[in-house]
């Protein structure tokens, strides 16, 4: 079983729509969680950390469900510039980060 699993998508949504997707992780002892954004053929960049109580950054909302071992990302009022691959990243211990393969979102005009 992969340590971090994501629906690869693609999620094709019109501008202004809301899109949400999840990522599941296998190690219940994981302590830190992140969403990174990766544009096509570019390097990943941190989008946001995910806190236990859930957190929001502008149009982006991240949630953590420890009982079911998943995190989610919701994008409201989608923009064309939100088109990217979103990587779920989990810190299962002090010596590694586990990356999901990514969920691709395409926002169309």
Partner 1 sequence: DADVTQTPRNRITKTGKRIMLECSQTKGHDRMYWYRQDPGLGLQLIYYSFDVKDINKGEISDGYSVSRQAQAKFSLSLESAIPNQTALYFCATSDSGSGFAGELFFGEGSRLTVL
Q: Compare residues 18 and 93 and give the one whose CB is closer to partner 1.
A: 93
- Whether the link from the prior residue into 10 is cis, omega within 30° of 0, is yes
Whether 87 contacts 1, CB under 8 Å = no
Among 18, 31, 52, 65, binds partner 1 (CB under 8 A): 31
Among 12, 32, 52, 65, binds partner 1 (CB under 8 A): 32
Q: Compare residues 19 and 23 and give the one whose CB is closer to partner 1.
A: 23
2 binds partner 1 (CB under 8 A): yes
Distance CA 37, CA 9 (A): 15
Q: Compare residues 32 and 65 and give the one whose CB is closer to partner 1.
A: 32
Tell me which DSSP letter residue 7 carries: -
For residues 48 to 67, the per-residue mask of contacts with partner 1, x marking binding by CB under 8 A and - elsewhere, is --------------------
Distance CA 34, CA 17 (A): 23
In 3D, which of 47, 48, 46, 51 has the Cα closest to residue 32? 51
Distance CA 1, CA 99 (A): 13
Among 37, 75, 102, 107, binds partner 1 (CB under 8 A): 102
Residues that bind partner 1 (CB under 8 A): 2, 4, 8, 31-32, 34, 41-46, 87, 91, 93-102
């Amino acid at each position: 079983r992969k340590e971090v699993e994501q629906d690869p998508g693609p999620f094709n949504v019109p501008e202004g729509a809301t899109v949400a997707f999840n990522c599941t992780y296998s190690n219940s002892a994981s302590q830190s969680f992140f969403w990174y954004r990766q544009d096509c053929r570019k390097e990943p960049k941190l989008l946001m950390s995910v806190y236990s109580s859930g957190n929001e950054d502008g149009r982006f909302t991240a949630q953590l469900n420890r009982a079911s071992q998943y995190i989610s990302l919701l994008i409201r009022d989608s923009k064309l510039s939100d088109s990217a691959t979103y990587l779920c990243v989990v810190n299962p211990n002090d010596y590694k980060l586990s990356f999901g393969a990514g969920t691709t979102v395409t926002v169309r005009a």
